[in-house]
Amino acid sequence: MDISLNGLFEKSFKDHWDLPALSNYKGITLHYKDVARRIEKLHIMFETCGVKKGDKIAICSKNQANWGVVFIACLSYGAVPVPILHEFKAGNVHHIVNHSEARILFVGDVVWEGLNEAEMPSIEAIILVNDFTVLYSRRPEIKEARERLNEMFGHKFPKNFRPEHMNYYKDSPDELAMINYTSGTSGFSKGVMIPYRALVSNVLFAMQVHPKVSEGANVVSMLPTAHMYGMMFEFLFEIVSGAHVHFLTRVPSPKIIMEAFAEIKPAVIIAVPLIIEKIYKKKLQPIINKTAIRLFLRLPVIDQKVEKRILTELTAAFGGNFGEIIIGGAAFNKEAEAFFKRIKFAYTVGYGMTECAPIIAYAPWNKNKLYSCGQAAPRMQIKIDSEDPENVAGEILVKGDNVMLGYYKNEKDTQAAFTEDGWMRTGDMGVMDSEGFLYIKGRCKTMILGPSGQNIYPEEIESIVNNMPYVVESLVIEDNGKIKALIYPDFEAASADGISNGQLEDKMKENIALVNDELPNYCKIADFQIFPEEFEKTPKRSIKRYLYQKN
Domain limits for position 402: 269-321+324-443
Question: Which of 194, 214, 247 is the endpoint of a domain?
Answer: 247
Q: Which helix (H) or strand (E) holds 288?
A: helix 285-288
Q: How far apart are CA 250 and CA 537, in angstroms?
A: 18
> Which positions ≥6 away from 135 have C-beta within 8 Å?
107, 112, 126, 127, 128
Are 392 and 333 found together in one domain?
A: yes
Are 65 and 136 found together in one domain?
A: yes
- Three-class HEC string of 477-529: EEECCEEEEEEEECHHHHHHCCCCHHHHHHHHHHHHHHHHHHCCHHHCCCEEE
Are 357 and 408 found together in one domain?
A: yes
**Is position 29 within any domain?**
yes
Give all strands (DSSP E) within 304-446, no chain letters: 325-327, 347-349, 351-352, 359-362, 375-376, 380-385, 394-400, 406-407, 424-432, 438-443
**Is position 255 within any domain?**
no
**Is position 188 within any domain?**
yes
Q: How far apart are CA 130 and CA 109, in angstroms?
A: 7
Is it the case that residue 249 has pLDDT exceeding 70?
yes
**Is position 398 within any domain?**
yes
Is it the case that residue 462 has pLDDT exceeding 70?
yes
> Which positions ≥6 away from 74 have C-beta within 8 Å?
57, 59, 80, 81, 178
Average pLDDT, the chain: 89
**Is position 253 within any domain?**
no
Q: How far apart are CA 127 and CA 418, in angstroms?
A: 38
Are 502 and 463 found together in one domain?
A: yes
pLDDT in tens, 364-387: 999 999 999 999 999 999 999 999
Q: How far apart are CA 472 and CA 371, in angstroms?
A: 21
- Strands 448-449 and 455-456: what pairing? antiparallel
SS3 label, residue 205: helix
- Strands 176-181 and 394-400: what pairing? unpaired
Are 438 and 470 found together in one domain?
A: no
**Is position 408 within any domain?**
yes
| Confidence (pLDDT) at 145 | 86
Are 239 and 115 found together in one domain?
A: yes
CA-to-CA dists, residue 223 to 64, 148, 155, 540, 551, angstroms: 12, 35, 39, 7, 32
Is it the case that residue 204 has pLDDT exceeding 90?
yes
**Is position 262 within any domain?**
no
Share of the chain above pLDDT 90, in %: 63
| Confidence (pLDDT) at 457 | 79
Question: Which of 247, 282, 307 is the endpoint of a domain?
Answer: 247
Phi, psi of 537 (to 5 degrees): -125, 160
Are 60 and 205 found together in one domain?
A: yes
- Residue 345 amino acid letter: F
Are 57 and 185 found together in one domain?
A: yes
| Confidence (pLDDT) at 306 | 76
Q: How far apart are CA 176 and CA 75, in angstroms?
A: 10
Question: Which of 425, 443, 461 is the endpoint of a domain?
Answer: 443
SS3 label, residue 339: helix
pLDDT in tens, 324-350: 999 987 778 787 888 889 889 999 999
User: For residues 85 and 227, is the Cβ–Cβ distance under 8 A?
Assistant: yes
Is it the case that residue 185 has pLDDT exceeding 60?
no
pLDDT in tens, 17-36: 999 999 999 999 999 999 99
Model pTM?
0.85
Q: How many residues does the chain have?
A: 551
Q: Which among 227, 233, 222, 242 has a CA at the least distance from the CA of 194?
A: 227
Domain count, the chain: 3
Is it the case that residue 186 has pLDDT exceeding 50?
no
Are 149 and 59 found together in one domain?
A: yes
DSSP summary character for residue 296: H
**Is position 193 within any domain?**
yes
**For the chain, what is the largest distance between any 2 Cα atoms, rounded to a whole number of angstroms?**
78
Are 434 and 452 found together in one domain?
A: no
Are 30 and 160 found together in one domain?
A: yes
pLDDT in tens, 507-524: 999 999 999 988 878 789
Are 421 and 470 found together in one domain?
A: no
Residue 461 belongs to domain with CATH number: 3.30.300.30
pLDDT in tens, 52-103: 999 999 999 999 999 999 999 999 999 999 999 888 889 889 999 999 999 9
Is it the case that residue 130 has pLDDT exceeding 70?
yes
Residue 275 belongs to domain with CATH number: 3.40.50.12780
| Confidence (pLDDT) at 103 | 96
